[in-house]
Amino acid sequence: MKNRYDSNEAQRFINAYPDRPEGLCLRVYTSRLIGSEADLVLHGGGNTSVKCRVTDIFGEQKDIIYVKGSGWDLGAIEPQGFPGLDLAYLRKLRRLAGLSDEEMVNQFRTHLVDAGSPNPSIETLVHAFLPHTFIDHTHADAIVTLTNTADCEALLKEVLGERIVILPFIMPGFPLALAVADLYEKNPQINCIILQNHGIFTFADEAKTAYGLMIDYVSRAESFLADQNRSKTSAPSPGAACPATDIILPLIRGAMRLADENGQTFHLHVRQSEKIRAALDRADARKLLVSGVLTPDHVIRTKNYPLWLDFTADENEQQMARRISAEFAAYEQRYDAYFQRQLAAKKVARTRLDPKPRVMLVRGLGLVTSGETPQAAIISADIAEHTIAAKISGAAVAPYRELDESSIFDMEYWSLEQAKLGRGKKPLLAGRIALVTGGGGAIACGIGRKLLAAGARVFLTDINQERLAKVRDMLAGQFGATMVSSLIMDVADSRSVQQCFSRLIREAGGLDILVPNAGIAHVAKLQDLDEQVFQQVLAVNLMGVFQVIKAAAPIFTRQASGGNIIINSSKNVFAPGEAFGAYSASKAGAHQLGKIAALELAPLKVRVNMINADAIFDDAGVSSGLWDVVGPDRMKARHLDPAGLKEYYRQRNLLKTEVLADHVGNAVVFFASNQTPTTGATLPVDGGIMAAFPR
């Protein structure tokens, strides 16, 4: 690992924050250096601190410790990400015989310099009790790999030298802080403390030195592991191919479904690099990799053990489905047994977390992870990928030694650790995956916005790449890039549809909500209607709905967890317009297809409903493709400008209201959230057009 400290860059940070203590500015700089190294910290792992003397509002000098705040990423941290606390007071806490976690957090909150600061790190007292100005703590892969071996103390001394001391695993908090402080005072010559199954602390009175020690010790561990692997392992070979990814992932996703009233399910994330697949193809892969976490901090993201699946044998879909079901059932039984053992051993009461795996090692396919959000699945994958590499690297040195399950349970069910996940009421459509066709249009904006606001991940599809990108970027800016994606798809082309659905499965694992929304319009009386144009309108508006329903049905079947199809029909289904025959007939046909789908997919618990919308012109600067075609003729016929045309349609409906894309989105969310036992229904979203009343 390269030492990237640059004195000129350090000075730039000092200059960038003239109203902050110089030590804090340097703390920000070296923290970002540490945070930019995935092999040091992953998704909140590790913390840093600095002690500064500052002048308070009375003009008095006071010692303040600034420590990383909960929720901040070291790689992008700012000065405000380091809450300041009264150092002298925190050090008094060392006199106590004991301190509960809840009271420890209370003491942190009540002795902040700024009441609006984020919560300080759980390990704040470790930083406070050590005397050094700068303290760096990471969960460095190479260090933790060495600590997870038998007789690790002798090995660590051999590799890292004599200025380190080693502690067995201790839960973060007050007991760990006491143990670290006592250990240092007995060994004041040290500049590094290693915590088994946890990580490394380095410390000094200068930012450059503390950071340099971290890089030096981790580099020694990395070099040792690299040497051992070069001498004892051969080059990896890619594993056997799995030809059934599009089948396996929906089957896995169906097995992930929770048995609650909402049918909560999960997002999947897949990684198939050559290194991952080669690791899974090792003869000892299952024994080596289906073992405990590198550090207990990972357990809230990954569970302690991954689930192993092997699809390199020749099996049909039914055999794969049965085996996935059996493997998941066995995994959940093992988790429940672990939970019950620990309750009995510790004589405590806890609410069991869901027993579903977060990491699946699928020989022949790759690494599959799950999460309640796409980001959670990505975090699990990042950790799992590092864990695979670390375990393989460590295997060249000594057998892997996992932490005891008692310590794992303490961390997994620790309230302060659970708080990192932000537990709370789940969004209405949490875990759901939605696909909306016609994604480059105004109505798709409203549908996508409301689905995202309800917690769903949204895939938008369209044939017009420029319009699609505009809508995707707009929604991604509001809801985050991991929650909204775009796929180029021509709904009238069966091959394009199949390719798009395959990409959807590989990116997210499955589908829960399908919204056929793509449509085109053409204005012409029947006697003037060109047959080729009529066929084109039918291909998009009718065949397009058929194609996407047909492609979605096998996914719903494999997931076996229900689903929703909500077809964006039109008020023209019941109230067609003159010179609008191609559009009206094709929409009526799609509407009828929806009713047939409601009949055929009901045994799968898939509900199919229709929304009849009318007069939606634009949304957030995105125009309606239909009104781009129809609008000019309508304005010309009625001698109106664009504003006048909108007002005309507003006055035409019974409620005298403007119909918005968000209204259609609300209707989609209503159906998608299963708030009523409804299928085969039609919901008008048109302000009230009497001629279009369903009948």
CATH number at residue 473: 3.40.50.720
Task: Render pLDDT for 188-229 as a digit per residue (tens, 0 to 9).
Answer: 999 999 999 999 999 999 999 999 999 999 999 999 999 999
Strands (E), 320-448: 359-363, 366-371, 433-436
Rounded CA gap, 109 and 508, in Å? 40
Question: Is the residue at 640 inside a domain?
Answer: yes
pLDDT band per the 50, 70, 90 thresholds, residue 230: confident
61: part of which helix (H) or strand (E)? strand 61-67
Number of domains present in the structure of the chain: 3
For 339-361, the DSSP string reads HHHHHHHHT---PPPP---SEEE
Length of the chain as a residue count: 695
| Residues 600, 676 within the same domain | yes
**Residue 423 reports pLDDT greater than 80:** no
Task: Render pLDDT for 534-576 as a digit per residue (tens, 0 to 9).
Answer: 999 999 999 999 999 999 999 999 999 999 999 999 999 999 9
pLDDT for residue 121: 93
**Residue 239 reports pLDDT greater than 60:** no
pLDDT band per the 50, 70, 90 thresholds, residue 505: very high
Kindly give the residue spans of alpha helices, DSSP state H, lying in 166-309: 174-186, 207-232, 245-255, 274-280, 285-289, 299-302
Question: Is the residue at 439 inside a domain?
Answer: yes
Of all residues in the chain, the percent with pLDDT exceeding 70 is 96
Overall average pLDDT of the 160-186 stretch = 95
**Residue 353 reports pLDDT greater than 80:** yes
**Residue 313 reports pLDDT greater than 90:** no
Question: Is the residue at 245 inside a domain?
Answer: no
Question: Is the residue at 258 inside a domain?
Answer: no
Residue 292 belongs to what domain range? 269-421
pLDDT for residue 630: 79
Overall average pLDDT of the 80-99 stretch = 96
Which residues, other chains included, contact 591 with Cβ-Cβ below 8 Å and sequence gap of 6+?
567, 569, 573, 610, 682
**Residue 236 reports pLDDT greater than 70:** no
Question: Is the residue at 537 inside a domain?
Answer: yes
Rounded CA gap, 44 and 375, in Å? 14
Overall average pLDDT of the 674-694 stretch = 95
pLDDT for residue 636: 81
Query: Which residue matches tokens 């599009």?
Result: 246
Rounded CA gap, 329 and 333, in Å? 6
pLDDT for residue 421: 60
Question: Is the residue at 405 inside a domain?
Answer: yes
Residue where a domain terminates, one of 421, 441, 462: 421
pLDDT for residue 626: 77
Average pLDDT score over the chain? 93
Overall average pLDDT of the 144-156 stretch = 92
Dihedral (CA of 49, 51, 55, 60) sign: positive
| Residues 212, 138 within the same domain | yes
Overall average pLDDT of the 485-505 stretch = 97
**Residue 137 reports pLDDT greater than 60:** yes
CB distance 298 to 539 below 8 Å = no
Q: Given the DSSP bridges, would you call strands 513-515 and 563-568 parallel, antiparallel or unpaired?
A: parallel
**Residue 444 reports pLDDT greater than 70:** yes
Of all residues in the chain, the percent with pLDDT exceeding 90 is 86
pLDDT band per the 50, 70, 90 thresholds, residue 317: very high
- Burial class from Cβ neighbours inside 10 Å (0-12, 13-18, 19+) for residue 209 reads middle
Dihedral (CA of 529, 531, 536, 540) sign: positive
Residue where a domain terminates, one of 370, 399, 421: 421
Query: Which residue matches tokens 């016609």?
Result: 438
Cα 525 to chain centroid distance, Å, stands at 51
| Residues 130, 277 within the same domain | no
pLDDT for residue 243: 58
pLDDT for residue 587: 96
| Residues 213, 291 within the same domain | no
Local structure of 564: helix, strand or coil: strand
Q: Which residues pair with 51 in a beta bridge?
A: 65
| Residues 622, 493 within the same domain | yes
pLDDT for residue 234: 53
Name the pTM for this structure: 0.92
pLDDT for residue 695: 76
The tokens of 155 are what? 């090995």
Question: Is the residue at 627 inside a domain?
Answer: yes
pLDDT for residue 237: 53
pLDDT for residue 454: 97
**Residue 612 reports pLDDT greater than 90:** yes
| Residues 379, 450 within the same domain | no
pLDDT band per the 50, 70, 90 thresholds, residue 432: very high
Which residues, other chains included, contact 246 with Cβ-Cβ below 8 Å and sequence gap of 6+?
501, 502, 505, 506
| Residues 442, 410 within the same domain | no
pLDDT for residue 232: 64
- The residue type found at 609 is N
pLDDT for residue 420: 59
pLDDT for residue 491: 97
| Residues 226, 276 within the same domain | no
Rounded CA gap, 444 and 436, in Å? 7
The tokens of 47 are what? 């913390």
**Residue 441 reports pLDDT greater than 80:** yes
Rounded CA gap, 624 and 658, in Å? 15
Question: Alpha carbon of 134 to those of 5, 53, 162, 204, 533: distances in Å?
Answer: 15, 13, 21, 6, 73
Rounded CA gap, 682 and 695, in Å? 10
Question: Alpha carbon of 526 to those of 278, 482, 540, 592, 692: distances in Å?
Answer: 62, 46, 19, 22, 21
**Residue 376 reports pLDDT greater than 90:** yes
- The residue type found at 144 is V
| Residues 322, 457 within the same domain | no
Lowest-confidence range among 48-52, 362-366, 396-400, 643-647? 643-647
| Residues 416, 438 within the same domain | no
Residue where a domain terminates, one of 379, 401, 421: 421
Question: Is the residue at 256 inside a domain?
Answer: no
Q: Which residues pair with 609 in a beta bridge?
A: 566
Angle, helices 494-508 vs 245-255, to 10°: value is: 50
Overall average pLDDT of the 659-686 stretch = 96
Which residues, other chains included, contact 345 with Cβ-Cβ below 8 Å and sequence gap of 6+?
406
pLDDT for residue 238: 52
Rounded CA gap, 46 and 49, in Å? 11
pLDDT for residue 424: 67
Lowest-confidence range among 206-220, 227-241, 248-262? 227-241
- The residue type found at 649 is Y
pLDDT band per the 50, 70, 90 thresholds, residue 292: very high
- The residue type found at 41 is V
pLDDT band per the 50, 70, 90 thresholds, residue 617: confident
| Residues 81, 58 within the same domain | yes
pLDDT for residue 426: 85
| Residues 185, 282 within the same domain | no
**Residue 270 reports pLDDT greater than 70:** yes
**Residue 596 reports pLDDT greater than 90:** yes
Backbone angles phi, psi at 672, to 5 degrees: -65, -20
pLDDT band per the 50, 70, 90 thresholds, residue 422: low
